Chains A and B, each alone.
Chain A
Amino acid sequence: MLRFENVGMRYGSGPEVLREVTFTLDPGSFTFLTGASGAGKTTLLRLMIMANPPTSGLITLFGHALATASRSAFPALRRRIGVVFQDFRLLDHLSAFDNVALPLRLAGRRPAAYAHDVEELLGWVGLGDRLHSRPHTLSGGEQQRVAIARAVVGRPDLLVADEPTGNVDAEIGQRLIRLFGELNRLGTTVLIATHDRSLIERGRAREMRLVDGRLVELRAAKP
């Protein structure tokens, strides 16, 4: 599914943010990524979602070595990844419905074909009555749920979430984690970057920790 081999990353001539990072995410796996602030989590996530190329090393995604893959193949690879950004990155001029529908629209699906799915998903994350609300009228937690719904609506092969429960209460957080678990059971590979230890301890998932740009395997997935 995803393989990093001796990946290093630095921005411009700055210090190396990631050093010789090597790991594999197997298809259908569920992984937590932890680390102190500034350890390089966001940079690692950006490399995983193809937002930046690495400075060194090899990344293989869905069987494609990104260093040698054709750029024309990138959009299709990116559409197989669902991303929950820490800052949500919702489009303010679009309603919650249109924000969530965006990946389906990019995939070429017609509104009539996806409207029911989008409404159902927004209902599932507790926003069934806010379909037509613009993001700026939603609370931080509601915006986060819209962002999560947008990331999962296309049933991506890989879901990458950066602090997805950071702005929601415990009950909603549990509900969202159940949503990720459900998606994972359906075959999606999930990686969640989080500081929430309770979230990690409750699960049986594998944990990888970043320390000063190096990856440390803390815990393999429990059977």
Chain B
Amino acid sequence: MTRVKRGRILPREAGAAPLEVVIGVMAFLAALALGGSLLADRAAQGWRAGLSGKLTVQVLPPEQGFPEPALTNETDAALRVLRATGGIVRAEALSQGETETLVEPWLGAGAVVADLPLPRLIDVTLLPGSRIDLAALRRMLHRAAPDSLLDDHSRWIVRLKTLADALVWSAYGILGLIALATASAVAFATRAGLQAHQEIVALLHQMGAQSGFVARAFERHYLVSALGAGAVGSAFAAALFVAAGGLEFAGIEPVAFLPPLTLHPAELAWLIAVPLGAGAIAWATARLSVLAALRRIY
């Protein structure tokens, strides 16, 4: 007995490279979209967490009279009210310097800012899970400090949530489109492969091969191609996210005003789903295409 290893039912396709390139590029884009959706989701959670446990009280400078003593008095009064309110763990007024630092990105540093009638800001931290009657607090603040404004950030939270949800769902939409395009490309390639191997398929069919046997030969071929190409595309995307993390680590901000583009290891692991998904699409499309083609043969 000289050999027992079986040859492949289908020959290796010389023309399969373009399909693998298409799947690789699709996987790269899908991994970017998936990573983007994870980043958007994480950023949205961070924004919500950062704002939802906080209140800000602004004490506006009076339009007439001597602003500085009045501002200080009203700020102290507001602080007393806040510190006496249940559910508030911390209420601290920002110094003049801290307030100037906040407006500096918009107005710049220097004498102009120092001359502006800036409001006093009080940063309020709530006890996690506490429910505060904001209307009652607003009334008490107004009585103690008539020029104060209470901001619970709800307007920003709603907007940020809407923005983050839109980003996440856009990423899912892009993922869906890429999956559709991948499935179409694989279906097209499978049909072309069937056409190219028509004689082999016809011979196997004539020799009594079950449809599943023929389909398996094709689906295995496309599964392996898609897994390989998908892994390469996904690895490139992962490398891009890691590189972005490296830049941030080095203190270089790749895109200003956007949250960090670094994926955590657990999030990077999600990118493994991309080649698996590409393989599953290729497998299913190849199988369905081959079975449909075989049903048309007598």
Listed in ascending order, the chain A residues whose CB lies under 8 Å from chain B are: 49-53, 74-81, 83, 89, 91-95, 97-98, 101-103, 105-107, 111-112, 115-116, 119, 131-132
Contact = CB atoms under 8 A, between A and B. Distances in A.
A85 to B, nearest CB: 9
Contacts of A89: 199, 203
Interface in B1-33: 1-8, 10-12
A51 B4 CA distance: 31
Among the interface residues B10, B12, B205, which one has the most CB atoms of the partner chain A within 10 A?
B205
A97 B210 CA distance: 22
Nearest to A112: B4
A52 B298 contact: yes
Contact of A115 (B1, B7, B8, B208): B1
Contacts of B200: 91
Interface of B: 1-8, 10-12, 199-200, 203-211, 213, 298
Given A50-B298, A52-B298, A93-B11, A78 B2 contact: no
Given A95-B7, A98-B7, A115-B3, A106 B204 contact: yes
18 contacts: A78-B207, A83-B206, A83-B207, A89-B199, A93-B7, A95-B7, A102-B204, A103-B207, A106-B204, A106-B213, A107-B208, A111-B4, A111-B5, A112-B4, A115-B1, A116-B1, A119-B1, A131-B2
Contacts of A74: 208
Given A93-B8, A111-B6, A112-B4, A53 B208 contact: no
Contacts of B206: 49-51, 78, 83
Nearest to A51: B206
Contacts of A83: 206-207
A83 B241 CA distance: 59
Contacts of B3: 97, 115, 131-132
Contacts of A77: 208
Given A89-B199, A93-B8, A94-B7, A119 B209 contact: no
Nearest to B1: A115
Contact of B2 (A80, A101, A119): A119
A91 B203 contact: yes
Given A75-B208, A93-B8, 8 more contacts: A49-B206, A53-B298, A89-B199, A93-B11, A93-B12, A111-B6, A116-B1, A131-B2
A76 B208 CA distance: 6
A49 B207 CA distance: 9
A59 B200 CA distance: 26
A51 to B, nearest CB: 6
A106 B201 CA distance: 13
Nearest to A49: B206
A119 B203 CA distance: 22
A83 to B, nearest CB: 7
A115 B4 contact: yes
Contacts of A111: 4-6
B11 A105 contact: no
Contacts of B207: 78-79, 83, 102-103, 106
A221 to B, nearest CB: 28
A77 B208 CA distance: 7
Closest 9 CB pairs of A and B: A79-B208, A78-B208, A93-B11, A111-B4, A98-B7, A94-B7, A75-B208, A115-B1, A106-B209
Contacts of A79: 207-208
Among the interface residues B10, B12, B208, which one has the most CB atoms of the partner chain A within 10 A?
B208
A54 to B, nearest CB: 11
B187 to A, nearest CB: 24
Contacts of B208: 74-81, 103, 106-107
Contacts of A107: 208
Contacts of B8: 93
A102 B208 CA distance: 11
Contact of B209 (A49, A52, A75, A94): A75
B6 A75 contact: no
A3 B144 CA distance: 108
Contacts of A115: 1-4
